Amino acid sequence: MTTPWSKTHKVEDQTIRKYRDGDTKWKKWTEQIFVADESHKCPTYVNRTPPCQGSCPSGEDIRGWLQIVRGIEKPVGDMSWQEYAFRRSTAANPFPSQMGRVCPAPCEAGCNRNEVDDFVGINAVEQYIGDTATAEGFTFDSPALISDKRIAIIGGGPAGMAAAYQLRRKGYASTIFDDHEELGGMMRYGIPGYRTPRKHLDAEINRILAMGDIEVKLRVRVGEDITIEQLDSDYDAVLWTIGCQSGRGLPVEGGDAPNCVSGVKFLEAFNTGRLQVATDNVVCIGGGDTSIDVVSVARRLGKINSQNARERPELVVHGYVAHDSVMAASRSGAHVTLTSLLPRTSMTAAEHEVHDALTEGVSIINSVMPVRINQDETGHAVSIVVAECTLEKDGRPVPVEGTEQEIKADLIVSAIGQGGNLDGLAELDNGRGLIDADQYYQVKDRPGHFVAGDIIRPHLLTTAIGQASVAANSIDLYLREETLSKRPKVDVHHFNLMEKLSEASLDPAEYKPSQEWGTDLADFAVHNYEDRSANEIAAADELFLGHWKQEDRNKRTERVPQGEDVLGHFEERIELLTEQQAIAEAGRCMSCGMCFECDNCVIYCPQDAVFRVKKDKSTTGRYVDTDYSKCIGCHVCADVCPSGYIDMGMGH
């Protein structure tokens, strides 16, 4: 064979020519797909992170547990697929019932199926997994402790409980300190029970505690009942997960009226059973999920016609009194209004929650800002004045002159943000009522102290749970006195082929020095597979979308009360998918970045070079392989792979 084409060779010298005489331009290889002798590359199988998982703050292996539900990835032994899916789901997040109900599902917004028809109903399938786990009594394993070191976790909400769970999985004991009567944090005290049914919340909390070596100390406030110095003395590491329990007041004239309360405290008063009725006219300022919960609860509580001044709802919210439950018998409908700075389409609350609130009789006024609160001679608010507004580039609202309107109000609830309560913990305060953290969720300048959840920055429950998982890894490395390694670009709970092979008793053989390197016949290594999931997300333009037919989503039905039927309606609105519906919905998953055994590559390969792995050697991630003695690099397999699992990247 001669050397490649160069100016030093004449045409007649070439024994192998790449181009015909007259060819002067590159051809687009995509137009030459069946010209089989123009590629020097063969297929390799590449695992990437799917966009649903990349969008999930807690980093769940969503593709993985959907594969299990749909029946592609099989459990080992006699374990049911429901339990296997539960175990895969909870590796990242131990609260599938809660997440399936209240998470706003950024995973669904990121789903590549949106490019075909509609996203996969991930929340609905996750709820099925979580509720089935409750019904079947699934449990977590309790691994042996690897050390006598113990971690103090301050706060028993979603972040604190998730951290205790992840640390226990790693073999560490912990003690949870919480200043409430019960564990659960915002899941129990900040979200109404008809959205997070206590049956499932309690089951998921107790499942974590049942792992053992997780001590709980309730009604204990760190900074008041116990000092930071005591924690440092008694524990080997401290994790702060105290959340944000203080709501922001309205920064307008009259906003200090006693019947102006925060959304956080309003919901806590309801969730503890102290608040049984609201009042005639309730106005909530917000636009996010908390504000929707406030107005929905207010509609359910209603009013009573002859309310004693000593039983006004703000007195209950502030903790001075508690309502008698018999008051509920005489409740009638209240006028409930929600105002938002943003237009309806831009509200941060979940769209279906906004729709439900409107159905339940809540009035929503969009694109307005509070201007002032009018008070009576006793100093109580009697109305709120709002004005239409525009938003500056920095998000600051500016009222439009001449657009003011007055809304009658007996109770005004502010749901415009939350802050931390760092009383007695001033040394942790960053000046904004929050705690600063680095990329490993260490508290700055305090070795051995870590932080996760809303106290860093108020966000989603799933965000707090994801941060807790990273913090648990950091604590593990700290206690081992190991260097904190750089976090991967895509920091989630990845599918691990080696773990899957081990689970299926398909571990590679032990390498022997006498064995030859560089052969795909050797059994001491996994060939023809590359894991890029820590750095790459499978984009829609890397998939063969033409494979997918349009298919309606299997939607959960809702029982949303209308009009006065909302009074006293505290039953759950969302109905669970059936087993058949859950399987069908999981089947809509496009398995982005991972083989789902569609056989396209095997069927369309013109050289029969792509073949199925023998059944006794096959598992997820090892369903197909390539005979490189047959492969001619035509890249048909890569072009027809629906999930983007095949790259033309192997040297020919």
Q: Quickly state the pLDDT bin for 12 (edges 50, 70, 90).
A: very low
With beta carbons less than 8 A apart as the criterion, state whether 418 and 429 touch. no
pLDDT at 285: 97
pLDDT at 38: 52
Annotate 282-329 with DSSP letters as a single string.
Answer: EEEEE-SHHHHHHHHHHHHH-B-SS--GGG-HHHHHTTS----GGGGG
Q: Are residues 253 and 394 in the same domain?
A: yes
- Per the prediction, the chain carries an average pLDDT of 91
Give per-residue pLDDT as tens, 544-601.
999 999 999 999 998 999 888 999 999 999 999 999 999 999 999 999 999 999 999 9
Q: Would residue 390 count as lying in a domain?
A: yes
pLDDT at 11: 43
Q: Would residue 365 count as lying in a domain?
A: yes
Query: Which residue would you say has higher pLDDT here, 512 or 433?
Result: 433
**How many other C-beta atoms are found inside a 10 Å radius of the C-beta of residue 419?**
18
Is the per-residue pLDDT at 32 higher than 60? no
Instruction: Round to whole Å and give the CA distance between 543 and 319.
Output: 56
pLDDT at 466: 97
- Amino acid, res. 72: I
Structural domain count of the chain: 2
Is the per-residue pLDDT at 29 higher than 60? no
Does an H or E element contain 63, and which? helix 62-70
Q: Are residues 195 and 309 in the same domain?
A: no
Q: Are residues 242 and 259 in the same domain?
A: no
Q: Tell me what the mean pLDDT of segment 593-619 comes to.
A: 94
Q: Quickly state the pLDDT bin for 523 (edges 50, 70, 90).
A: confident
Instruction: Round to whole Å and give the CA distance between 137 and 139.
Output: 6
pTM: 0.90
Q: Are residues 185 and 234 in the same domain?
A: yes
Q: Are residues 348 and 284 in the same domain?
A: yes
Residue 455 neighbours by CB under 8 Å, 6+ apart:
155, 240, 241, 242, 243, 244, 420, 434, 435
Q: Are residues 349 and 406 in the same domain?
A: yes
**The tokens of 18 are what?**
């790449």
Containing structural domain, residue 461: 150-246+420-479
Select from 479, 511, 529 the last residue of a domain: 479
Evaluated on CA atoms 518, 524, 529, 530, the torsion sign reads negative
Q: Would residue 80 count as lying in a domain?
A: no
Q: Would residue 273 count as lying in a domain?
A: yes
Q: Would residue 493 count as lying in a domain?
A: no
Give per-residue pLDDT as tens, 398-446.
999 999 999 999 999 999 988 899 999 999 999 999 999 999 999 998 9
Question: CATH no. for residue 351?
Answer: 3.50.50.60
Select from 479, 501, 530 the last residue of a domain: 479
Ramachandran angles phi, psi of 388, nearest 5°: -60, 150
Is the per-residue pLDDT at 449 higher than 60? yes
Helix, strand or coil, per DSSP, at residue 177:
strand
Q: Are residues 407 and 460 in the same domain?
A: no
With beta carbons less than 8 A apart as the criterion, state whether 243 and 176 touch. no
Instruction: Round to whole Å and give the CA distance between 146 and 170.
Output: 8
Q: Would residue 523 count as lying in a domain?
A: no
Is the per-residue pLDDT at 6 higher than 50? no
Residue 306 neighbours by CB under 8 Å, 6+ apart:
none
Q: Would residue 455 count as lying in a domain?
A: yes
pLDDT at 39: 61
Annotate 234-291 with DSSP letters as a single string.
Answer: H-SEEEE-----EEPPP-SBTTT-TTEEEHHHHHHHHHTT------SEEEEEE-SHHH
**How many other C-beta atoms are found inside a 10 Å radius of the C-beta of residue 317?**
24
Q: Are residues 388 and 254 in the same domain?
A: yes
pLDDT at 174: 98
Is the per-residue pLDDT at 484 higher than 80? yes
Q: Tell me what the mean pLDDT of segment 82-106 comes to.
A: 97
Q: Would residue 598 count as lying in a domain?
A: no
Evaluated on CA atoms 74, 525, 169, 141, the torsion sign reads positive
Q: Tell me what the mean pLDDT of segment 4-19 comes to.
A: 42
pLDDT at 20: 61
Instruction: Round to whole Å and give the CA distance between 150 and 231.
Output: 11
Is the per-residue pLDDT at 334 higher than 70? yes
pLDDT at 539: 93
Q: What percent of the chain shows pLDDT beyond 70?
A: 92
Query: Which residue would you say has higher pLDDT here, 393 or 446?
Result: 446
Q: Tell me what the mean pLDDT of segment 508-515 comes to.
A: 78
- Amino acid, res. 212: G
pLDDT at 533: 95
The helix, strand and coil proportions of the chain, stated in percent and rounded to the nearest 5, come to 30, 15, 50
Ramachandran angles phi, psi of 281, nearest 5°: -125, 110
Instruction: Round to whole Å and give the CA distance between 365 and 388.
Output: 10
Q: Are residues 190 and 241 in the same domain?
A: yes
Select from 414, 429, 456 the last residue of a domain: 414
Q: Quickly state the pLDDT bin for 517 (edges 50, 70, 90).
A: low
pLDDT at 649: 80
Give per-residue pLDDT as tens, 208-252.
999 999 999 999 999 999 999 999 999 999 999 999 988 888 999
pLDDT at 308: 81
Q: Are residues 223 and 260 in the same domain?
A: no
pLDDT at 77: 87
Give per-residue pLDDT as tens, 125-140.
999 999 999 999 999 9
Q: Where are the beta strands (DSSP E) in 440-507?
A: 449-451
Q: Are residues 297 and 410 in the same domain?
A: yes
Q: Are residues 266 and 222 in the same domain?
A: no
Instruction: Round to whole Å and give the CA distance between 62 and 643.
Output: 15
Helix, strand or coil, per DSSP, at residue 435:
coil
Using alpha carbons only, give the angle 179, 320, 243 rounded to the nearest 5 degrees: 30
Give per-residue pLDDT as tens, 272-316.
999 999 999 999 999 999 999 999 999 999 998 877 888 899 999
Is the per-residue pLDDT at 528 higher than 80? yes
Is the per-residue pLDDT at 516 higher than 70? no
Instruction: Round to whole Å and give the CA distance between 302 and 168.
Output: 44
